[in-house]
Amino acid sequence: MNRNLFYLFLVILASCTEREKSSPNVFFAGEIVNPTSKKVFLSKDDKVLDSVRLDENSRFSFNLPSIEEGLYHFNHGNEYQYIYLGKGDSIQIRLNTMDFDESLVFSGKGSEINNFLLDFFLANEEEELLILSTYFQMNPLEFDKKIEELRTEKLALLSQLQSEAELSKGEQEIAEVIINYTYYNYKEKFPFEHRKRTGEKLISEMPNNFYAYRKDVNFDNENLTYLTPYYNFAKSHLKNLSYIGCEKKCGIENEEVISQLHFNRHKLSLIDSLIREKDLKDNLFRNVAMEYLLRGGDTEENNEIFINDFHLRSQNNKHLGEINELYEGIRNMQPQKKIPNLLVKDFDGNNISLQEIAKDKKVAFYFWSGNSKRYFKDVVKRVSELSKTNKDYLFVGINYKTDDITWRGMVSNSKLDKSSQYKADDFKELTKTLIFNKRNKCIITDDATIVDGFTTMWAANF
């Protein structure tokens, strides 16, 4: 694991000083180099508990009376990281936003478990590259051996820390869960990833003891609901079980599920029967609904069947409003519907609706942002290629998340026609109205009527 010398120093320091937990108060403070916002947020699960502003020296501090011991996370800008807090802890951090996780260091009372978990996450990022490039191509027995070696190694390091730093029961348990479910997730994903790389189908032919850990899986612990390794495992596990079910009930063709409707309804059924913890159940239902609906490749009738089944099984889902809004948006993007009357701005600053732009002509709407100059070059090249082979189409660019000066400059310096370039100032409205969920999205219309609302610039059929 990374930074071993620093880690050993912490262990030695911790072994010399018995941690005092007499006070229920928790102090959490730090310094952020190159801050990207004015605040730091502290959250538990999906709820923000508190926020503080950085001072003139880019420092912050939280004083938390009688906090519940457990795993929290702090956010700054678009970055976040876990932090374990317990009674009497006094933790300081220092980080540089230019290298957020790699520069982060915890110190003070309660820092031992946090530095251990941080090193584990960093080490896992490196291991994942090896697993993706090499391990997933192995046969099941070889893969199982390698994964178990990695898991056993991390548990041994945790055991060493426990013996020298006197971790609390909660710290010990959360670290074990993070380690175990990280590697269990790799095992759930193995047959699918192996098939991608080798073409060999193993999903229903795995060794008998490959999934032996499943007998110990617990989906009822509310303290784990928002833990990323645990949640990722749950998603992979349900996909695995659903695929096996579809092999028997809806069939598999060329290694792909024939009916996405059946496959995702099967997922809903499994969640309903296996998961009892309310928040985890709600989140998993939401994940299935989002994945199915955003594929955009099924019929309106099948979408309706799915959403009715979703409502039947998840009537009190806390994400119900979001899912219903997405469903209605997707209904509005189906073939034979008029493209939504979203307002955009032309190159001269005038507002115009998409329906007006698309009236009496064939149009392919594509999207780009000034945040990715490389992708913009790819789009310009692709538009040039398609324009030569599809002369009956007008290719219309919709820009988002770019200031006016940058937008105009990029268009002017490219080979794009200014008269076919527009800008959407409200990104939230753009994503909600057009179901804009991937940057290479393309919408094809004929006289403002949708032909295909869910294709891409590289897969569209003109």
* DSSP symbols for 310-346: HHHH-TT-TTHHHHHHHHHHHHTTSTTSBPP--EEE-
Q: How many domains does the chain have?
A: 3
pLDDT, tens digit, for every residue of 195-240? 999 988 877 778 889 999 999 999 999 999 999 999 999 999 999 9
Contact 139, 48 (CB under 8 A): no
pLDDT, tens digit, for every residue of 420-444? 999 999 999 999 999 999 999 999 9
pLDDT band of 252, cuts 50, 70, 90: low
Establish if 368 belongs to a structural domain: yes
pLDDT, tens digit, for every residue of 75-101? 999 899 999 999 999 999 999 999 999
Establish if 29 belongs to a structural domain: yes
Mean pLDDT of 409-413: 95
Q: What is the CATH number of the domain that holds 424?
A: 3.40.30.10
**If you average pLDDT over every residue of the chain, what do you get?**
91
**Would you tell me how many other CB atoms lie within 10 Å of the CB of residue 90?**
16
pLDDT tops 50 at residue 15 = no
Establish if 127 belongs to a structural domain: no
Contact 219, 280 (CB under 8 A): yes
Q: What is the CATH number of the domain that holds 36?
A: 2.60.40.10
Mean pLDDT of 410-424: 95
Establish if 361 belongs to a structural domain: yes
Strand order in the sheet with 59-64: 59-64, 26-33, 90-96, 105-109
pLDDT, tens digit, for every residue of 265-304? 999 999 999 999 999 999 999 999 999 999 877 889 999 9
Do 323 and 384 sit in the same domain of this protein? no
* Spatial separation of the C-alpha atoms in residues 245 and 313, rounded to whole Å: 19
Domain holding 26, by residue range, is: 20-109
pLDDT band of 20, cuts 50, 70, 90: very low
pLDDT tops 50 at residue 371 = yes
CA distance to 32, 216, 244, per residue, from 121 (Å): 20, 23, 31
* Spatial separation of the C-alpha atoms in residues 56 and 126, rounded to whole Å: 36
**How many Cα atoms sit within 13 Å of 177 on the Cβ side?**
23
Q: At 424, phi and psi to the nearest 5?
A: -100, 115
* Spatial separation of the C-alpha atoms in residues 263 and 246, rounded to whole Å: 6
Do 397 and 322 sit in the same domain of this protein? no
Q: Of 60, 89, 109, which residue is a domain's last?
A: 109
Do 283 and 209 sit in the same domain of this protein? yes
pTM of the model: 0.86
